[in-house]
Each structure stands twice: as structure tokens, then as C-alpha cells.
Amino acid sequence: MFLRILWKLLGASRGRLAVALIALTSGAAVCSALLNVNLDAERKLTQEFRTLGANVVIAPPAGGSEAALADAAVLDRIAALRVPQIVATAPYLYVAANSGSQPVILAGTWFNQVAKMNSWWKLEGGWVSSRDDHEHCLVGFTAARQLGLAPGSAVQLRSGDRNISLTVAGIVTTGGAEDNQILTNLDSAQALAGLSGRVSLVELSVSGTPAEIEGVTRKLADNLPGLDVRPVRQIAAAEGTILGRIQGLIFWTIALILVLSMLGVLASMAALAMERRQDVGLMKALGGTVPRIMRLFLAEAGTLGALGGLLGFLLGVVLARWIGERIFGVVISARFEVLPITVALTIGVALAGAFPLRLLGRVRPADILRGE
């Protein structure tokens, strides 16, 4: 009988319940969309952040000799740790060289790894695609201007009594120290400097939240004794701040939307409560206890909340896709863990909005039956 009455209640005040359902569905849709964006945006943004340069640097201890170098075997030890968060590993060996009479810094590295973590670098000409390419180099924008180099130019570099000849593949603008350097294959730099098997530092691109990055840093430090493992704090902090602000914005927007939805439901339910006074008075006269009568009305509100939450979730997925494409330029996929959260929140809002119905418990049947 409970379900039978509940079904009839839902059909009895379709207009007012439809208004409440629209308020709940709209609120749930925005919540679902924002929760989807929140979950997906964090993943997508941390991926995006990983194209903005290294966020962990491994180098010989500071305070030592300026020319302190690490054994290149460190690269094998990092690989052996199999840390899934490490997106790219780029060793660097810096060599003071001369191009003709002009001094220049030659940086030997792995181009394929540098490309992974610095996709935002501006390039004129071509990239050096192979890690084993011993013939080409990239030249920083400032160094190219000083040395009069352009893509396709040949450049002779000398360090001590060793020479190498390279062809300029492209000119890079990075906004950093690389603008003053010539970048070439690590082996070539080691050969020119006579420092086979040595590197100046290793840059890592580590994905994840600031806490996860901190965790990876600790793990590396524990496994690489004698080397400094330092997170690039400005980048980690900036990433953390951006993610924190986005999450804060989403949290408060959801809270605001839920309150607004509740007010919408409250307005409908207040009108509904006036309509239901007669019914409640009669039910009490027939021997209905307040909890038993209220269970009916709260079940009605809860059902409305569940329905609103479900519809809102589906609409929210569509909305999240739209937001993802328009704002983040990524496809945000449906996250089904958002469904129970959305439905639970919407049921909570519906029950809170049904407060006027709960006041019906105070109705005195004698007053109602008298026609007051």
C-alpha cells in the first residue's frame, strides 16, 4: 500500500512536482558536470603540465666543485626504479666550447626526451628526431643571432683540442637558458669534452599531484645516494595552486548550485504542503501516525531526488563534454563514480527542500475537518 500511495502522490501534483524535478535535475546536471570536469580536469591538467618542462632535477650535490659531474649510469638506475609517474628523463652535459672565436655553451642531451617535456618550445626549422643523431644540432635563438646561424647552417665547435662539425636542424626559442646554448646529442658533447659516461644533471618530468611528485622525489633520493634530487618548487607549487583553485571553484559552485536547487524545491514544496494539509488532517483522523505519514511524503521527495539525480547525471555528462571541449580543449569522458555522488546529493537536497512537508506533522485534524 505504501508504494501504491507513493505512486499516486507522485501523480497527484504533477505540476508542482515537475517544477521541483526541474530544479533538482538542473542542479544535479551542473553538479555532475562539474564533478566530471573536476575528476577529469585534474588528470588532463597534470598531463598538460608535463609538457611545461622538467619539475624534478637530479644533480651532484650543491656546494661541491662547479664542474661536479654525475656518472651517466644514474640514467640506468632511474630506469630500473620503474616509476610510472616519470614521463620523460633528459640528461644534460654542459660543455664550454667555441664557435670560431665566440664562446658558446654546448648542451648534450637526448632530443626525444627533451621533446616530450618541452613541447611548448618554439621551433624554426626542424627538430632532431633521433637520440642517436650525431650530425645535427638545435641552436638557441640568442646564440643563433650571435653566431649568425640559421637552419641548414654548418657549425664548427671546439673544446680544447677536440672539434666537431654539426648542421643546424632548427632554431629554438625557449625563454630560458637554452636560448643561449647549442643543443646536440649527449654522446657528441661527451666526446667533445672528453667526458665519456658523465652528465651534469638529469631533468625529469613527473606527472601527478604535488603530493605524488613529492613522493617520487623521496623515492629517487632514497635510491640515488650521493646525488641531490630536487623538485622544481615553483612549477610544483604553481601546479598545486592551479589545481587547488580549480577544485575550490568547483566545490563552492556545487555548494551554491545545491543551495539554489534546494530553494527551488522549497518553493514548490511549500505550495504542495498547503495543498496537502487536508490530506494529512484526514490521514491523522484515520489513525495515521506522524512518522508513518511523513515517511510517505519524504519517500516522495526522495524519489523525486533520485530521479532528478539520475537525469541530472546524464545531462551533466553532456554538459561536461561541452565544457571540456570549449574550455579545456579536451574530451571529458563520463565518470560513473560521479553517479552515486550526484544522486546522493540530489536526494539530500530534495529532502532538505521538503522541509515544509515535514511541518505538516503539526496539522491538527480537528482544524482541518472543521474546514480551517
Partner 1 sequence: MVPLVQVDQLEKRFGEVRALDRVSFDVEAGEWIAIMGPSGSGKTTLINILGGLDHPSAGRVVVDGLEIGSLGERELTRYRADKIGFVFQQFHLIPYLTALENVMLAQYFHSITDEKDAAEALCRVGLSDRLSHVPAELSGGEQQRVAIARALINQPKLILADEPTGNLDEANEAVVLKLLHELHDTGHTILVVTHSQAIGNLADRRVELEHGRLARISAPSLAKE
Return residues touching partner 1 (CB under 8 A): 1-2, 4-5, 8-9, 11-12, 278-279, 282-289, 292, 364-366, 369-371
Q: Which is nearer to partner 1, 125 or 365 (CB)?
A: 365
| DSSP conformational letter for 324 | I
Q: Which is nearer to partner 1, 16 or 44 (CB)?
A: 16
Compute φ and ψ for 159, nearest 5 degrees: -140, 115
Single out the residue of 349, 333, 343, 305 nearest to residue 36, CA to CA. 333
Query: Identity (one letter) of the amino acid at 136?
Result: H
Q: Which is nearer to partner 1, 4 or 82 (CB)?
A: 4
Task: Name the minimum Å distance from CB 280 to partner 1.
Answer: 10
Which residue is it, cell 571553484?
249
Q: Which is nearer to partner 1, 11 or 226 (CB)?
A: 11
Q: Which is nearer to partner 1, 203 or 300 (CB)?
A: 300
- CA 173, CA 170: separation in Å to the nearest integer? 10
Task: Name the minimum Å distance from CB 278 to partner 1.
Answer: 8
Q: Which is nearer to partner 1, 5 or 52 (CB)?
A: 5
> In this structure, what C-alpha cell is assigned to residue 364?
491538527
Q: Which is nearer to partner 1, 4 or 326 (CB)?
A: 4
Q: How many CA atoms lie within 13 A of 65 on its CB side?
A: 5
For β-strands 86-99 and 122-125, DSSP reports them as unpaired
Distances (CA, A) of 120 to 50, 174, 242: 11, 8, 19
Task: Name the minimum Å distance from CB 4 to partner 1.
Answer: 7
Element (H, E) at 154: strand 154-159
Q: Which is nearer to partner 1, 20 or 37 (CB)?
A: 20
Q: Longest Cα pair distance anywhere in the chain, in angstroms? A: 113
Q: Provide the b/e sequence for 113-145 (b: ≥16 CB within 10 Å).
A: bbbbbbeebeeebebbeeeebeebbbbbbebbe
Compute φ and ψ for 139, nearest 5 degrees: -120, 135
- CA 345, CA 151: separation in Å to the nearest integer? 59
